[in-house]
Amino acid sequence: MELRPTIDIDLVRNLIAAQFPLWANLPITPVEPGGVDNRTFRLGRELTVRLPSAAGYAPQVDKEHRWLPVLALQLPLAIPMPVAKGLPDMGYPFNWSVYQWLEGETARPGRISNFSGFAATLADFLHALQTIDSTGGPLAGAHSFYRGASLAIYDVETLTAIETLAGQIDVDQARAVWEAARAATWHGPPVWFHGDVAADNLLIRDGTLASVIDFGCSGVGDPACDLTIAWTLFSGESREAFRSTLLADAATWRRARGWALWKALITLADHVDTKPVEAAAACRVIEAVLADHEAA
């Protein structure tokens, strides 16, 4: 198992004092909910500090500092803007970041004033992201945990999870969804994708979508991975508003179902006996994906 550094307020305070003394007297508070890939702390009123939690996430720092300022100029919603890059120090082994603070609450059903409008706004954002010139952008790979690449990378993992969950899910239908997704090969040029379009990475103000955060898995490749929120957050009219606004074709939608199914299957297989809340959420996604495939 990969060793993870201890990341706490004391570490952040010491790093800031040593490398950015101008901010040494600002208050530091953890940001909740806490992330898995990174630990985030608010620094004063206008800044955040973000530190990779393990070596696999460390390359995301340089990527975000290189590309987020480029993307921000061409997107209709706010995204994190790097302010400073920290270096390994105080026993912490990775580069780390200081960003501008973005106000907002994470997307939750009770906070969204109009689900279909929210879905359309997100689709507009993703469409804008996909149309940005991707020349020289980071091709999908290990840095994006293969978001944006071929679903084939997760074929064995997915099929194993399906077998593990026999008796708890419709195994034949799950295989059919996965096979359809694998067959719907991406033939277009590589475009920008976010890589982790999830409710926790969407910030709301006054009931509407205000900003999109956490571009650690971003890159250029197949954008189908960004459509999984159609089943993890949306349903019915909001799902249709998302798809129609984004103009997603049938093949892209099938691959998106594959991405959503893969994540839900491995989550359920890992947590079915240990984390009932996560397992129940994964079950709901699986059911939604299978039903959507059946209705197609």
User: 24: how many CB neighbours lie within 10 A of its CB?
Assistant: 12
pLDDT by residue for the chain (296 residues), tens only, comes to 456 899 999 999 999 999 999 999 999 999 987 677 899 999 999 999 999 999 999 999 999 999 999 999 999 999 999 999 999 999 999 999 999 999 999 999 999 999 999 999 999 999 999 999 999 999 999 999 999 999 999 999 999 999 999 999 999 999 999 999 999 999 999 999 999 999 999 999 999 999 999 999 999 999 999 999 999 999 999 999 999 999 999 999 999 999 999 999 999 999 888 889 999 999 999 999 999 999 98
User: What pLDDT score does 270 carry?
Assistant: 92
Instruction: Give the C-alpha distances (Å, rounded to integers) separating 93 from 5, 9, 26, 37, 84.
Output: 8, 16, 24, 15, 17
What are the residue boundaries of the structural domains of the chain, listed by start? 9-100, 105-295
In angstroms, the CA 176 to CA 7 distance is 43
Instruction: Name 78's Cβ contacts closer than 8 Å, sequence gap at least 6.
Output: 72, 102, 210, 211, 212
**d(C-alpha 185, C-alpha 123), whole Å:** 22
Q: How far apart are CA 279 and CA 165, in angstroms?
A: 12
For 158-177, write each residue's pLDDT tens digit.
999 999 999 999 999 999 99
One of 3.40.50.12780, 3.30.200.20, 3.40.50.300, 1.20.120.420 is the CATH number of 9-100, namely 3.30.200.20
pLDDT of residue 32: 82
Residue 35 phi, psi (nearest 5): -90, 170
- Model confidence, pTM: 0.95
* CA–CA dist 7, 145 (Å, integer): 22
d(CA 30, CA 177): 40
* CATH number for the domain running over 105-295: 3.90.1200.10
9-100 matches 105-295 in fold: no
Cβ–Cβ < 8 Å for 22, 43:
no
Share of the chain above pLDDT 90, in %: 94
Provide the β-strand partners of residue 208.
205
Tokens of 68: 């987020």
